[in-house]
Structure 1
Amino acid sequence: MSKSLFPTGPIGNLIAFQTGGGTPSRQNPAYWTGPIPWASVKDFDEDKIELLETDEQISLQGLNNSAANLIPANTPVVCTRMAVGRVAIAPMDIAINQDLKALFPSHSTDTRYLLRLADYAKAKADAVSVGSTVKGIKVADYLNIEVPLALPEHQSKIAEILDTLDAAIRGTEAVVAKLKAMKQGLLHDLLTRGIDANGDLRFPQPEAPHLYKQTPLGWLPKEWEACLLDNVALRGSGHTPSKSIPSYWDGGIRWVSLADSHRLDQVYIRETDKEISEAGLANSSAVRHPENTVILSRDAGIGKSAILASEMAVSQHFMAWRCGTKLNHVFLYYLLQREKPRFEAIAMGSTIKTIGLSFFKKYVIALPPKNEQDQIGKILLQAEDDVVIGEQEAQKLRATKSGLMDDLLTGRTSVTPLL
C-alpha cells in the first residue's frame, strides 16, 4: 500500500454499526427450502465485490428460527473467518451466516466508498487474523484497522471512478467470453463441415446429405478423407538426458517437458523451462524437431498441444508430428485441440495416466484438401487472436484499476481530473 496523503484512522470511524448472522439447523429441511439467499464465505470470490447469487437459500422459517439475519440490499458484507477480509455487496436482501459481518456506514459515509475501502483493507485484515487451522478476526480488531479516510465530498467520486472501471472490465470480460464461445463453435463447425468453394461453411449433413459421405469417422464432406495421421506426417517423440551429468543441460537447445504444460494450448510455444546441450542431445534419444512441428502431451496434462515456434527437442512425454505436403500444421494443431476430451478419456494408468504409442500408430484424422485446411487454419488463428486481444485489454484494465484504486484511496491522485 502507498503512503496516504489522506488522514488515516480506524475503518470503524466510517461504520455506524455491524451485525453478524447464523446458520439454520440442517436437521430441519424446511429451513432450507425457501427463497431467501443465504450467504457464507464460499460465496465470496477473491476478485469480485458484487454478490449476485448464493449457493444456498433458506426459508422465512429458517431465518426466524436461527441467528441468521436478513441484511438489506446494497450493504457491504465482510468475511471475518476463513477468507478474512473479503468483502462484497449484494443488490438484493440476503441472510448471512456467523462467519460474516454486515457493515452499515455512518450517515456521512458513502456506501460504495466503504465497500472499496474495505476491499483495500483486505490484506491488513488477513495480516491481523489469528488461528492455526482456520483464521479469523475479532470484530474489534477489524474495526481498528487503519485506513485512509477521504473527505465525505470525495468519497462518492472515488467510488464512481472505480465503479466505472469495474463496469469496463466486466464488459470486456463478457466480450472475451463471447469470443471464446464463438471460437469453440467455429472449431466444431470448421472441423466437421469445413468450407465450400465459395468460402462459406457447408450446410450440416442433415440439411445437405448430398454434400457428405459415410466414413470410419462418421459423416465427412465428400472432398475429405479419413486418413491415417502417419501417412501425412512424420511421427516422433523425445527423451530426457541424464540429469546426473551437468554438461548435458543448459546448453541452449530448448527442450519441452511437463514443466512447460502452462505454455501449451496457446497455439505456439516459444520458450521452455529447461534447455539441453549438444552433448545431452548426442547422449540420449532426444532429437531436434524443426519449427512448425506439432507436439502433444500424452502423460500429465494429457491432450495439451502446441506448435514449435522454433527448433526444439522434447521429452518422452510428448508426441511430435512434422507435417508433410498434404497437412497444414495449424490445421493439425486445432484438430488435436478438438480431440482433447477423447485423449483424456482413453488415457490409462492407476498412478500416472498415459496414452500408449500403439494408439498414435493407428490414429486416423479427418483430412480436407490442403487449400481448405489452409483457410480453416487462418480463420481459427484469427479467432484466437481476437480472444488474445480481448484478454490483453481486460488485463490492461485490471492493472489500471489496481494502480488507480491505491492512488485514489490514499489521495495520491485527485479525483477531479479523472472525472
Structure 2
Amino acid sequence: MSAIEGWQTHTLEECCDILDNKRIPINGEERESRIGTVPYYGANGLQGYIDGFIFDEPLILIAEDGGVFDEYATRPIAYKISGKSWVNNHAHVLRAKASFDQDLIFYNLEHKDIQSYIVGGTRSKLNQGALRQIEINLPESLPEQAKIAEVLSTVDRAIAQTEALITKQQRIKTGLMADLLTRGIDADGNLRSEATHAFKDSPLGRIPVEWEVKDLKSVGNWYSGGTPSRSNSENWGNEVPWVCPKDMKVFDLKTTIEKLTALGLKRGSRLLPAEAIFIVVRGMILAHTFPVCITNKPMALNQDVKGIVTDPNVCSRFFAYWLSEHGQSLLKITTTATHGTKRFDMGELHAVDIAIPRLNEQNEIVRLINEAEKLGINYQSDLKKFRSLKAALMQDLLTGKVRVTTLLT
C-alpha cells in the first residue's frame, strides 16, 4: 500500500520476471576464445564482447555481487540493455511483467538505496531472495507510469547526446593541439603543411622554418619549492596558496587545498607569480599521469613540484599546453626510486627539446586551443545542468510529489 493516492507499493517479485536461470557463466579463458560482437555484461555493466547471445530483448540488470551499492547516490546500481546480449552470473536479469512499465521500474532502481538488502563482507552480495523483496512505488495507471518514464528518458537522451558531444570535442581538441604544436599556423591563419609551406630538418624531425629548437631548461626559469614545518601552526593559514600534487587535477589552477601564512612562505617555500607553470616531478602519480597546471594568481609550491616562469619570448600558456600534450612521452624518462616512487632526473628533463614558434604565432595557437577548450567547458556545464535536472525530476516524479496526470491525453 502506498501513501500516494493512485499509487501502489510493489516488490520486484510482483512486478518483474527474474530471468537469472537463463544466465550462462563462462570463464575468462573461454571468453578469450569467443570474442565477437555481442555485448557481454557483468555486475557493473559492459565487460566485453562475445560471439553468441542468451537474450534478445530490453532488460534491466542489477548486480548480484560486486555492485557499487554504497555509491548509489552518484553511480547507477542498475542499467538498461537491449538487443542481443550475454549476461554472466554476477548480474540479476529483470523483465517487467504486463501492466508495469519497464523503464519506470529501471528509474526506480537506478539510484535506489538497497543497502539494507545486501549481505556479505568484503564482496557485498544481493541474493535473489532479497532482490525479490525490494519495494518500489508505482502509479496504478500504466499510462501514468509510461509518462513518467518518458519524461526521464527525454532527459537521459539529452545527457547521452551531450556526453557524445564532449567525447567528439575532446577528439577534435586533441587533434588540433597535435597539429598546432607541431606544424603551427601561418600569418593567414592556415595550418602549415610541407606541401604549401617551407619546413626544415631538426633534431625533432621536420619543423616550420620559422621555428626554433630549444631545450626545456632554456624556455624559462625553473624553481623548486618546499614544505614549512607542520608542527608550527604559525606556518599554516589562509594567505598564500600552496601547490602540491593533490591540487593539480585541473589545467587552470585557481586555488589549493592548503595555504601558508606569509611567515610559513618565508620559512619553507617559494612564491611564483601568476601565469607560472607547475609540473609534478616526484610521486607515484608519475607512473601513469603527468600533471601540468598554470595559475591565475601568485602561488607557492612544495618539494614534489617544479615551477616554471617562462622567458618574455615564450607564452606561458603555450608552454603549458606543450607540456600537457607531451605528457605521456615525458613519463617515459622517469626513473623509479628504491621505494617505488617515480621521479624525473632534472638534467634529463631539462635536456628534452621543444620546437618553438615566434611569440605572435604562439599567442594565436593558444587562442585557438583556448576556443576549443571553452567549447568543451560549455558542454561540461550543459551536462552538469542536465544531470541536476534529472536528479530533481527523479525526486519529484518517482515520489509522486509532482504528478504527470495533466500531461496524459
TM-score range, shorter chain: 0.7 to 0.9
**1 CA distance for matches of 2:83 and 2:234?**
64
Matches within 5 A, 1:52-201: 55-57=48-50, 59=52, 70-83=54-67, 86-121=77-112, 123-124=113-114, 126-151=115-140, 152-201=142-191
Determine the C-alpha separation between the residues in 2 that align with 1:319 and 1:253. Answer: 17
Taking the aligned partners of 2:399 and 2:342, their CA distance within structure 1 comes to: 52
Query: Does residue 1:383 correspond to 2:372, yes or no?
Result: yes
- Where structure 1 has 5 or more consecutive residues not aligned to the other structure, the ranges are 46-52, 61-69
Structure 2: 5+ residue stretches without partners: 70-76
The CA deviation at 1:15 is 2.2
Note if contact 2:8-2:138 (Cα within 8 Å) is conserved in structure 1: yes
Deviation per CA, 1:246-265: give whole Å up to 9, x if none. Answer: 21111511110122132x3x
* Structure 2 residue 16 is the aligned partner of structure 1 residue 15: yes
Of stretches 331-340 and 300-309 in structure 1, the one that deviates more from structure 2 is: 300-309
Aligned residues: percent identity? Answer: 25
Q: CA deviation at 1:387?
A: 0.6
3-state secondary structure, aligned to 1:83 = coil
Residue 253 of structure 1: SS of its match in structure 2?
strand
- Give the paired residue count: 391
Aligned-pair CA distance for 1:377: 0.7
8 Å Cα contact 1:161-1:418 kept in structure 2: no
Q: CA deviation at 1:416?
A: 4.8
- 8 A contact 1:21–1:95 mirrored in 2: no
SS in 2 for 1:188: helix
Measured in 1, the distance between the counterparts of 2:29 and 2:234 equals: 68
AA at the equivalent of 2:186: D
Tell me the residue number matched to 1:250.
237
Find the counterpart in structure 2 of residue 298 from structure 1. Answer: 281
d(CA) in 2 for partners of 1:230, 1:77? 55
Which amino acid is the alignment partner of residue 236 of structure 1? Y
Distance 1:344 1:260 in 2: 19
After TM superposition, give the deviation of residue 273 of structure 1 in Å.
Answer: 1.0
RMSD value over aligned CA atoms? 2.7
Q: Does 1:287 align with 2:288?
A: no
Greater shift after overlay, 351-360 or 13-22? 13-22
Deviation at 1:27, TM superposition (A): 10
How far 1:169 sits from its partner (Å)? 0.6
Change (3 A) 1:325 1:104: closer
Identify the residue that residue 412 of structure 1 maps to in structure 2: 401
Alignment of 1:209-248 (within 5 A): 211-248=198-235
Deviation at 1:135, TM superposition (A): 2.0
Moved more, 311-320 or 183-192: 311-320
What TM-score comes out, normalization by structure 2 length?
0.87
How far apart are the structure 2 equivalents of 1:38 and 1:218?
A: 43
Amino acid at match of 1:406: Q
Looking at structure 1, the residues matched to 58 and 92 of structure 2 have their Cα atoms a distance apart, in angstroms, of 14
Q: Are the equivalent residues in 1 in contact too, given 2:52–2:86 (CA < 8 A)? A: no
- Deviation, 1:18, is 4.2
Shift of 1:114: 2.1
